[in-house]
Amino acid sequence: MVTLGLASAAAFALAWLSAVAGFGGGVLLLPVFTGLFGLRAAVPMLTLTQLASNGSRVWLNRHDLRRSIIGRFAVGAIPCAVAGGLLLAHAPMAGLQRLLGVFLLVTVVWRRLRPHPRAPGPRAFTVVGAASGLGSALLGSVGPLTAPFFLAAGLTRSAYIGTEAACALLMHLTKLTVYGAGDLLTRRVLLLGLVLTPATLAGAWAGRKTLGRVSDRLFVLLVEIGLVAATLVLIVSG
């Protein structure tokens, strides 16, 4: 019960963060789930909770979705998410845990060096989608790396949060199909994902209410501090 309580609190807090800042929740939640349940269970569990979180964000921002971007993203993301999901079923967990730690550190450096990449062309989101699909299937979430591209395309507030969530939702649905085929969606994982869904939905709803009231710079700073802390934990314990 204590473990479920901690996981539910983390799911609520980080779904709220994602709903406000548009990224960061999944990346920060994965180290929490890894510590509580192990990485092989944590990645599909995170996918289940993100399915609820992103689905709610799509619905809450449905009137501002950029469907052309979603379509281009899906072309690259879906096949690469399939490939990444198949790799996860057979990859060594210790190596992946260290890779996740390095990935989180690269995330912080990337956002510092390239906070405002040039506006992506029409085909760029297919490449962004391909990289996202592969990375998300192996590491759970790559939102902080892709966020600058959505922002550079001119998406703000509801359009950004809803469109990014719709792209992520497509990846999560694909990943769940592959995880199920690879026997990663065990009864325990499905049960835990179901139990954590209400906290995730509540966090997304609360974040929607908070949107626009808090400085974006503060949230980015908090996310980056959390990423660095998670990096150290994962690399040392991996």
Show the tokens assigned to 143: 């939102």
- H or E segment to which residue 235 belongs: helix 216-237
- H or E segment to which residue 237 belongs: helix 216-237
pLDDT of 60 over the 80 cut: yes
CA distances from 209 to 17, 104, 122, 195, 212 (A): 12, 28, 32, 23, 8
Q: Please tell me the predicted confidence (pLDDT) of residue 78.
A: 93
Show the tokens assigned to 162: 């809803």
pTM of this structure:
0.70
Q: Please tell me the predicted confidence (pLDDT) of residue 72.
A: 93
Q: Please tell me the predicted confidence (pLDDT) of residue 27.
A: 66
Instruction: Give the domain extent around 205.
Output: 2-237
CA distances from 96 to 91, 103, 183, 235 (A): 7, 10, 18, 10
Total structural domains in the chain? Answer: 1
In whole angstroms, what is the distance from residue 157 CA to residue 116 CA?
A: 16
Q: What is the pLDDT of residues 68-116, one digit of tens each?
A: 999 999 999 999 988 887 877 676 656 666 776 677 677 677 767 776 6
Higher pLDDT, 65 or 40: 65
Q: Please tell me the predicted confidence (pLDDT) of residue 16.
A: 77
Q: Please tell me the predicted confidence (pLDDT) of residue 105.
A: 74
Q: What is the mean pLDDT of the chain?
A: 76
